[in-house]
Structures are given as structure tokens and as C-alpha cells.
Amino acid sequence: MQTYHNTVSGKQTEAKEHQEIFNPATAVSLGMAPLNSEHDVDLAVEAAKHAQKSWASVSDQERRETVARIAQVLEDNSAYLSGLITQEQGKPLSGPGSRFEMQACVGWTQVPSKLELPPEIVYEDDERKDVLYRQPQGVVAAIAPWNWPLMIAIWQIIPAIRMGNTVVLKPSEYTPIATLEMVRLINQVLPAGVLNTVSGDGRIGAALTSHPDINKIMFTGSEATGRRIIVASSKNLAPITLELGGNDAAILMPGTDASAVAEGLFWGAFLNAGQTCACIKRLYVHEDDYDVVVAALGNVARQTPVGDGMDEGNLMGPLQNKMQYQKVKELVDDARGNGCDIMEFGDIPSTGYFLPITLVGNIRDGQRLVDEEQFGPALPIIRYQTLDDAVASANHLSAALGASVWANSAEEAESTALQLEAGTVWINQHGAIHPMVPFGGNKASGYGVEFGIEGLKAVTQPRIISIKK
């Protein structure tokens, strides 16, 4: 059985304890992943701190060139890492699956390698000139989730090192292997200590985020864990970028052609079996359009094969872990017990954490499947009478990561989009993130942004040089 390792100061490290990782589709063992101690966290942070000043002193152009080399490493190893993602996380190789995730890793690495953030003259007159410089924050603690384990890790790693920071990354304890292997490969082109890893559960995450030598925290995950990280950061006063998931609402405008938007709505909701922060989690449909929309979504669902992601014919995989499987099943069972219409599609394997593609009708605000983020392949479809009703329902929860409005024309949707409380509101698409477009949540979905120039600024600290003439 293969044993995987952390990377600290450019070297593979041994751990005293390990955990076995299993394929969520087949229950086949993938190997042993390291379980670290708080002492291991100290060593990784020390390595990052030791490397940071020399890395920051490297020219901006050289750092950009290094990041471009990382993109090539990711490209060259895409097939290997895609296979690991599918076996460990569950998403299929095909469609919007693990190959898609690796393409995103490459793209979100290439773009920062081409961006510049030069000094900016913020004020000048006859007597003075004030110039704003962007300096690295130091050592970044990055906590990555299990749903897009490599892509979201790249979102955290690349801007940080691009701007002269060093990183200690903790992958999710559910999906450590592919991430550890990606970091091992990236280290082939990085100076020792620039990118390090630690592995384990929330105890290790807490030790990392509260460490006195951490200067910035980046976290994607649950609201509950995000709140604990905020408390932990009081020990080092590190600024935080938090993406805490969402319960994204989509509003279908009255009279919208259901056949034209059905596929976009479907994948907006069921990408990665619904295990995506910015997936449609609630769909609001006008009462006059309800039956047509449900039928159109059902037609797409019937044509979507579910099964082991290593089979090229499958487009949807399992839930990643037993905890999530049981949560989604419980929410659907609750809706069933409350008289909702449960429409299930597809033949699912008997082995693995598979649930059928599920549309849930005759449901309303206040029921658990609507008010709680399901993070799985079950979509509640809620009738509304007026657009004001739909907007009020969409905004009534504390989650506010994304939202979308669907209409026969974009112009028809804009005024409604402006009323929705979310970090991003898409029109006639959902979850359409881009490496140049800032992305982040509102309300209980977190704060701070990632991507593009604003994402680079988020991993720096401003320094003003004020000159008397």
C-alpha cells in the first residue's frame, strides 16, 4: 500500500501516524495519508518563515516566471492528478469533472503569472508625493476543502506566492492525497520552503491558523469552522479571506423559455453532484411555469449517467464522504416526510456514496431542504407568485455567496439581479467564475475576495512612502 507524504522545506517528510483513504465510489483503498502533530505544524511554519524574506527579495519578474513554470508542471501532470482527484474526491474524469478541475488549476495559475501590481502614486502636488507599494504579508496559512481540493488550493497558493508570501497548506482530511501530490510536483520548480503542507483534522487546522508566525489566513469551508478561525486569529491578528459556502438562489423570470435554460440550470445546480459552494441550491419558479420547468429539468436528469467517475461514460459521481451522504439523504427524507414531491432519476450503483439526481417539488421556504445548504444532488423547486415574493425569499437567508436570474433576455433580468443580496449575481448562468473577476461572499458567506488584481491585493499589505519635495 502506498504511503503519501507532506512537503516541508522542499523535502518529503515522514509522519508518525497515518490514515487510510478510500475511493467514495468503490470503497477501494487509495493509500495512507499522513496525520500530523502540532509540532509538525511548528516545523512547517518555521520553514515557511525562514524562506519568506529571500522569496520576497526575488524580483517580481522572476516570481512571475516561476509561477508560469508551475502552470507548466500542472499541465504536464494533469492526467496523473485528474485520476487521483476522481479516485479520491469522486467527480468524474469527463464533463465538468476532474479534467475540468485540472484545466482550472492551470488557468488560475497562468493568469496571475501575467498580472502586474506596480507602485501607485496616490497623491502628488508641489510639496509632496505619496506612493503606495504592495508588500507581501509573510507566511500564509491556507485551508483547502474536499469538494474541489486542487482547484481551491491553487486559488490560495498561487496569488500568495506570486506576491512574495510563503504558504503552509492544509488539505482536507477527506481528500489529502491528490493535493499532497500536486504540492510535491510544484516544489520541483520552487525554492525550498516557499510551499509547505501539513495534514490532519480540525485540530491541525486550529494549530495552524492560531500560530503566532502566521500573517494571513485563507479558508474555504463551512460557516462553523470559519467562525472558529476568526476566534483563532485573535492570537496572531492575521487578516483573513473567508469563503464560507452558500445556499445560492436562482430565480426564473416569468415566461422564460424552459427548454432554452434547462441545461444551464441543471449544471448550475448539479455540478460536482451539487458539492460546490456556488451551486444553485434553491430554484424559484413562477407558478404558471412550474410544471414545464420541472419537466425540462427532468429530461436533462434522465440523460445524465451517474456512477464511478473512472468510467468515461459517467457525468456525475458520488458524494465524497459518509457524513455528506447522510446529511443529504436526511434532508431529502425530511422533505418526503413533509409531503413534498420527490422525483428521483437514474440508476445508481449499490456500492459507494451515491444518491440519485433528485428534484423536490411542492416545497416552500422554512423547510430544511430549502433553508439548510444541502451540498448534494437534491434541488428544491419553489413556486412564487410575484417577483417581489421571489426576491424576498432569495434574500431571507444569511448565506449570500452567489445567486442568479434567468430570463429570455439579459436586460429583462438586470433590475431583479440588482436586488439580490450576494457576492456575485449571474444572469442566464450560474457559478461562472473567471480568474480575472473578483469572487467572494456577503453576509454569512464570508468576506474578502479572490481572483484577478483584487485577489493579489488581498494577499499583500499596503505601504505608503510619503516624500517631501
**Of the candidates 377, 379, 246, the residue with the CA atom closest to the CA atom of residue 316:** 377
Partner residues linked to 129 by β-bridges: 124, 467
| Catalytic pick among 46, 223, 277, 373 | 277
State the catalytic residue, choosing from 46, 223, 243, 450: 243
Q: Is the Cα dihedral 426, 399, 335, 386 positive or negative? A: negative
Q: What is the phi/psi pair of residue 7, to 5°?
A: -115, 125
Asked if residue 272 lies in contact with residue 98, where contact means CB atoms within 8 angstroms, the answer is no
**H or E element at residue 123:** strand 120-124
DSSP strand E in 306-433: where? 341-345, 357-361, 378-384, 399-400, 402-406, 424-427
Sole residue written with cell 467562525: 227
Query: Which helix (H) or strand (E) element contains residue 6?
Result: strand 6-8
Listed residue (383, 369, 433) closest to 404, CA to CA: 433
Sign of CA dihedral 300, 301, 302, 305: positive
Catalytic site residue 243? Answer: yes
Structural contact between residues 153 and 171, judged by C-beta atoms closer than 8 angstroms: yes
SS3 (DSSP) at 224 = helix
Residue 411, Cβ density class (10 Å: 0-12 exposed, 13-18 middle, ≥19 buried): exposed
Catalytic residues: 243, 277
